[in-house]
Structure 1
Amino acid sequence: MEENKPVVLSPEGLQQLQEELDYLRNVKRKEVAERLKEARSYGDLSENSEYDDARNEQAFVEGRIAMLENTLRNAVVLDGSEDEAEAGRIRLGSRVVLRDLEYGDLEEYTIVGTVEADPAKNKISNESPVGKAIMGRTKGEIVVVEAPAGRIQYEIVDVK
């Protein structure tokens, strides 16, 4: 992740990342330190798999803490407010219903920043092919998405 690139988050996403950071700093770090201390007490560190495992976990935890700190330092939080000109336009935080014009299927997505994207929960990034195609658009518009599988046409059925 770039060191100073703005990271767009919803208030919920910000809270989740802050809670994870707090947990890693105040709980997980201590657990790993205890595991390291215990593993050291077993003696020879050169053939001590418990020590190696604890060191690997420590590296992961410290890396995750550094990544979260950087993300939070560069966070831009969406407050949900919008002016009259933007009312009804798709933006970060919008929930949208799209109709696939080839098959007629309806799909509902929430548009989020890349850090919060989770396709399994229908949260798509504003930087994804679908996200890029629909940002700034309004209900009733037809958009063409250039996806890895080919071109897909969607009608924007609803914007919340």
Structure 2
Amino acid sequence: MNKHPMTKEGADALKEELNRLKKDERPRITEAIAEAREHGDLKENAEYHAAREQQGLVEARIKQIEGILSHSQVIDVTKLPDNGKVVFGATVTLLNLDTEDEVTYKIVGNEEADIKHNKVSVSSPMARALIGKEEGDEVQVQAPGGNIDYEIVEVQYI
């Protein structure tokens, strides 16, 4: 089975969420179910049904996180030799050659991608255009509104 790349930061965040779900959420929901059971008739017990539904969602998320982590290859970019090339996990500052705007993106795994936090998936057109390039290179990225030309201003392994 192929392993999917994931940054150390992304893996740590998932491990933290998994720990919280197992140590805090599971016991809290179990307690809520036990309390709701004490209220008698389970058929018309809204608290019981809500707690059971929440339990199902938490258990599904736990399984999902465990699956993601078991199929991930964690890459710590800070431990790679910094040769100035854009690689998985690198943080890249780009200059839009048309607008002169600068933007910084971190190239992350598919599960970690979050454009609001400037994290782009390694399989995105942006990342595919950047991988293997280095500072000073110009790249063209296919965007929904047309091609955008960028210059790579800085590549950081942070």
Residue segments in structure 1 that go unaligned for 5+ positions in a row: none
User: In the alignment, residue 127 of structure 1 is paired with which amino acid?
Assistant: S
Superposed CA offset, 1:5-57 (max 9, x none): 42322222222211211111122111111111111222222222211211111
Structure 1 equivalent of residue 92 of structure 2: 96
Aligned to 1:132, the other structure's residue is in SS state helix
Q: CA–CA distance in 2 between the matches of 1:5 and 1:62?
A: 25
- Measure the CA separation in 2 of the matches of 1:70 and 1:108: 30
Secondary structure class of the residue paired with 1:158: strand
Structure 1 runs of 4+ with >3 Å offset: none
Q: Distance in 2 between matches of 1:99 and 1:79?
A: 26
TM-score in terms of structure 1 length? 0.88
- Residue of structure 2 aligned with 1:135, choices 131, 137, 141: 131
**Which of these residues, 72, 76, 81, is aligned with residue 75 of structure 1?**
72
Which residue, out of 11, 14, 21, partners 1:24? 21
The root-mean-square deviation of aligned C-alpha atoms, in Å, is 1.6
Q: State the 1:90 CA deviation.
A: 0.5
Alignment of 1:1-160 (within 5 A): 4-80=1-77, 81-82=79-80, 87-160=83-156
User: Are the structure 2 counterparts of residues 149 and 52 from structure 1 closer, same or farther at C-alpha, using a change threshold of 3 Å?
Assistant: farther
Question: Relative to structure 2, which stretch is displaced further, 54-63 or 4-13?
Answer: 4-13
Is contact 1:7–1:115 with CA below 8 Å preserved after alignment? no
Number of residue pairs the alignment of both structures matches: 155
Give TM-score scaled by structure 2 length.
0.89
Distance 1:96 1:118 in 2: 15
Return 5+ residue gaps in structure 2 as ranges: none
User: Identity percentage over the alignment?
Assistant: 40
